[in-house]
Amino acid sequence: MIKTDQIHSTACDLMSKAAIEIPEDYHDGLERAAATEDGSLASFVLQAMLENYAVAKEDGRAMCGDTGVPRWFVKLGNDSRIEGGMCALETALRRATAEATNGVPLRPNRVHPLWRTDHNNNVGIGAPEIEYAFEPEGDWVDLITVHKGGLFGTDYRMLFPADGIQGVRRFYLDSLLAFGKRGLACQPAIVGIGLGGSKDTCMTLGKRASTLRVVGSRNPDPRIAELEDSFRELGNSIGMGAMGFAGKHMVIDCHIEVGYCHTGGLPMSVHAFCLSSRRAVARLFPGGRVEHRVDPDWFTPYQRRETVDWPFEREGSEQEAAE
């Protein structure tokens, strides 16, 4: 059984780590961009970003004044057990969020949409968001915190099937140009694209693609992997660089995730994970062991399954029946 106090203490650590330490995969991508950028202002911004990240880690302070809107992704192995149940887990994550807001500190960005009520702790109705996934085996729990900007840098469009890949490219470019020209995102960014699903799941796919996959990872479908490569190059060919200045590095990487959709449409969402790319991950095991890592490993074969039954389960059941 995984203890509630273990969840709480790990969650507090993750909140601080996400706010202060840039993920290694994004940092490496940023260094590669800085080494080849030839736009003067874009180069200046990239170097300043790298220096700021180093100072933030050294001083133990948040890497950006706007610390985004903290959210949680929780994945559970099928055999995991939580002390006090799932409500206790959620309480631990909400407490950790509130404590980190005052302790790191994080900017208290969460307010009521109409009354602007602010509890100064990033906790309120529906905040922080907690999203769940499950895996067939294991008694562990993965805690993933993402502090994503909560205002702009996202867009959605319902395309038609006849629009095809060319239509997807057009909307992708439209979105990046709007993000850069109107200051709606902080580049360079990891860009996530959601294709398919219903409107809400399409937005979720794109957001998860931008925040829960590491730079350099590729979709297991080779045709989509080719699109990811071409879209990264396409995004860096429009003449915009860091923070919208003239340059050639607007996109650190592009990730695409898909879901089956209504036959009459082709939903699409585009999300830019901002230049801070705040993300931290840990796996908790019964007995108190905690394993920190960089890759959230969210999009496993099980999460991308197309079949009614999980194939490994079916194979196991058939084998047991035969024996």
pLDDT in tens, 165-206: 999 999 999 999 999 988 888 999 999 999 999 999 999 999
Domains identified in the chain, total number: 1
State whether the Cα torsion 301-302-306-308 is positive or negative.
positive
Using CA atoms, how far residue 33 sits from 55, 56, 160, 175, 279, in Å, is 20, 20, 35, 21, 20
Cis peptide upstream of residue 108 (ω within 30 degrees of 0): no
Q: What is the pLDDT of residue 322?
A: 47
d(CA 272, CA 182): 14
Q: Considering the domain boundaries, does residue 176 fall inside one? A: yes
Kindly state whether residue 237 falls inside one of the protein's structural domains: yes
Q: Residue 272: inside a domain, yes or no?
A: yes
Cα distances from 160 to residues 125, 234, 235, in angstroms, run 36, 22, 23
pTM summary value: 0.93
Burial bucket for residue 238 (CB in 10 Å: 0-12, 13-18, 19+): middle
Amino acid symbol at 147: H
239 inside domain: yes
In a domain, 306, yes or no: no
Note whether residue 84 is domain-resident.
no
Boundaries of domain holding 206:
151-276
CA–CA gap between residue 90 and residue 70 (Å, rounded): 14
- Tell me the C-alpha distance between 272 and 26, whole Å: 13
Is residue 106, in this structure, part of any structural domain at all?
A: no
pLDDT digits (tens, 9 = 90+) for 82-102: 999 999 999 999 999 999 999
pLDDT for 193-250, tens place per residue?
Answer: 999 999 999 999 999 999 999 999 999 999 999 999 999 999 999 999 999 899 999 9
pLDDT of 323 over the 80 cut: no
Residue 79 lies in a domain: no
- Give the closest residue to 256 by CA, choosing from 322, 198, 212, 321: 212
Q: What residues have CB less than 8 Å from 61, skipping those under 6 apart?
A: 20, 55, 104
Q: At what angle do helices 164-181 and 222-235 cross, to 10 degrees?
A: 30
Binned at pLDDT 50, 70 and 90, residue 315 comes out as: low
